[in-house]
Amino acid sequence: MMRRDGTVPAGSGPASLGPAGLGPVGLVLAGLASAWLAVLSQQALAAPGTADVAAETDAGYPSRPITIIVPYAAGGPSDTLAHLISGRMARTLGQRIVIENIAGAGGTTATLRAKRSAADGYTLSIGNIGTHAAAASLYPRLGYNPRTDFEPLGLIASAPIVVLGRRDFAPKDFREFVDYLQLNSHNLDEAHGGVGSISYDACLLLNYLVGARPRLISYEGASPALDSLMRGRTDYMCDQTINAVPRVRAGKVKAYAVAAPERSPALPDVPTTAEGGMPQFQLSAWQALFAPRGIPANVAERLNDALGQALDDPVVRARMAELGATPPNGGQRTPQALATMMQEEIDRWAAVIKAAAGNE
């Protein structure tokens, strides 16, 4: 925010001048100016510059609540995992963690906001295949670079994709679903959580493999997209088990296949895509924790450690298992491992998106 500082004109007047050649009015103005400069000096000293941030974090990070930005509407997979880890992380760090949902543009609106936040450890964000891999190819003017604008803190979990249909959708199994999609896609509505979201990316790959071109119905996250499917307003979607399991178990949507080498323990009655004749469609969606680039090293270490303790918590692990999510093992938990995986995913999805675009 820019400040406009008015200048004080030099005093002029009769022969009776005060010190430094200022008349009575000049003396008053000079006094006010001196007082104002003193206030500005105090504010400058109090401003959180880089050195001050480092001093604060060295002295006792965290000293105030931490915010985790979730790039989608409440209730979706990213939101579920953020709430799941935040409670345990808060206990470890000794500070409250606030979840802030910012939906829009497939998660990129919130991710851009996170990039612009201070690199002090008090604003973190959830990132995934969509925001930190596919978006780099889907959005020409993305506004951030996943490779260079963020500090990877650690992988949270991965979960397989489930192909879902509305409860009264005609196909009875995955083979019938694929055949039906190939013949009728131009009349079908596919729900997704925004261009670049995991649900969008997963079905982009599925549609490419099948040769389908459905109408794409966008929502501000997987949760409202899945809600549209449950209400029969759309025909199918691709979602993570984290979001799908409770709705499938309740009979609110139809699960056709899990895009994984093996059946999910959370949905043991749902066959794999390989069982349904499409082994080439396998996809596990990852979610991770990031900070703006430039966060102090000791703060990043504390956050990685707090995340690791959350992932080792029996309650957290049990809930993840219920939702079909898998926390990373020891070697996968480092920031370096996440950075390497993200680079590979950016390249992978660039190839998928290029191929899908050429198929249109």
Q: Could you read off the pLDDT of 258-297 as tens digits, one per residue?
A: 999 999 999 999 999 999 999 999 999 999 999 999 999 9
Q: 303 with 264, same domain?
A: no
Residue 329 in domain: yes
**Tokens linked to 192:** 């997704």
| pLDDT classification of 18: cutoffs 50, 70, 90 | very low
Q: Which whole number is the average pLDDT over 40-61? A: 48
In tens, the pLDDT along 301-325 reads 999 999 999 999 999 999 999 999 9
Query: What per-residue confidence (pLDDT) applies to 33?
Result: 35
End-of-domain residue from the set 284, 303, 335: 284
Residue 10 in domain: no
Is 90 exceeded by the pLDDT of residue 199?
Answer: yes
| pLDDT classification of 58: cutoffs 50, 70, 90 | low
Give the number of C-alpha atoms closer than 13 A to the C-alpha of residue 338, restricted to the C-beta side: 29
Q: 164 with 274, same domain?
A: yes
Residue 36 in domain: no
Name the DSSP letter for residue 272. B
Q: 70 with 152, same domain?
A: yes
Q: What percent of the chain has pLDDT over 90?
A: 82
Query: What per-residue confidence (pLDDT) applies to 59?
Result: 63
Q: 154 with 294, same domain?
A: yes
Query: What per-residue confidence (pLDDT) applies to 5?
Result: 34
Q: Between β-strands 236-240 and 150-166, what pairing exists: parallel, antiparallel or unpaired? A: antiparallel
Residue 7 in domain: no
> Mind giving me the DSSP string for 84-140?
HHHHHHHHHHTS-EEEEE---GGGHHHHHHHHTS-SSSSEEEEEEHIIIIIHHHH-T
Beta bridge partners, 70, equal 101
Q: Residue 159 in contact with residue 285, Cβ under 8 Å?
A: yes
Q: 182 with 260, same domain?
A: yes
Q: Residue 271 in contact with residue 174, Cβ under 8 Å?
A: yes
Distances (CA, A) of 308 to 80, 155, 234, 285, 311: 17, 9, 39, 19, 5
Higher model confidence: residue 122 or residue 54?
A: 122
Residue 13 in domain: no
Q: Which whole number is the average pLDDT over 320-332? A: 96
Task: Let me know if 332 is exposed, middle or buried by CB neighbors in 10 A (0-12, 13-18, 19+).
Answer: middle
Query: What per-residue confidence (pLDDT) applies to 47?
Result: 37
Query: What per-residue confidence (pLDDT) applies to 359?
Result: 63
Residue 53 in domain: no
- Among the listed residues 81, 65, 56, the one whose alpha carbon sits nearest the alpha carbon of residue 322: 81
d(CA 40, CA 201): 50
- Among the listed residues 137, 69, 71, 81, the one whose alpha carbon sits nearest the alpha carbon of residue 106: 71
Q: What residues make up the domain containing 273?
A: 159-284
Query: What per-residue confidence (pLDDT) applies to 140?
Result: 92
Q: 188 with 231, same domain?
A: yes
Is 70 exceeded by the pLDDT of residue 16?
Answer: no
d(CA 271, CA 264): 9
Q: 271 with 323, same domain?
A: no
| pLDDT classification of 252: cutoffs 50, 70, 90 | very high
Q: What percent of the chain has pLDDT over 70?
A: 83
Is 50 exceeded by the pLDDT of residue 23?
Answer: no
Higher model confidence: residue 19 or residue 213?
A: 213
**Tokens linked to 113:** 């906001």
Q: 89 with 120, same domain?
A: yes
Is pTM beyond 0.95? Reply is no
Is 80 exceeded by the pLDDT of residue 55?
Answer: no
Q: 101 with 199, same domain?
A: no
CATH number at residue 351: 3.40.190.150
End-of-domain residue from the set 251, 284, 317: 284
Higher model confidence: residue 56 or residue 191?
A: 191
Q: 128 with 167, same domain?
A: no
Is 50 exceeded by the pLDDT of residue 2?
Answer: no
Residue 25 in domain: no
Q: 278 with 163, same domain?
A: yes
> Mind giving me the DSSP string for 295-306?
--HHHHHHHHHH
**Distance, C-alpha 227 to centroid of its chain:** 20
Q: Residue 169 in contact with residue 321, Cβ under 8 Å?
A: no
Is 90 exceeded by the pLDDT of residue 51?
Answer: no
Residue 105 in domain: yes
In tens, the pLDDT along 109-160 reads 999 999 999 999 999 999 999 999 999 999 999 999 999 999 999 999 999 9
Beta bridge partners, 121, equal none
Q: Residue 151 in contact with residue 291, Cβ under 8 Å?
A: yes
Domain count for the chain: 2
Query: What per-residue confidence (pLDDT) applies to 143?
Result: 97
Q: 304 with 255, same domain?
A: no
User: For residues 59-73, b (16+ Cβ closer than 10 Å) or e, as one string?
Assistant: eebbeeebebbbbbb
CATH number at residue 221: 3.40.190.10
Q: Name the average pLDDT for the chain.
A: 87
Helix ranges restricted to H, 145-276? 174-184, 198-210, 222-230, 241-249
Q: Residue 203 in contact with residue 229, Cβ under 8 Å?
A: no
Query: What per-residue confidence (pLDDT) applies to 357?
Result: 85
End-of-domain residue from the set 255, 284, 313: 284
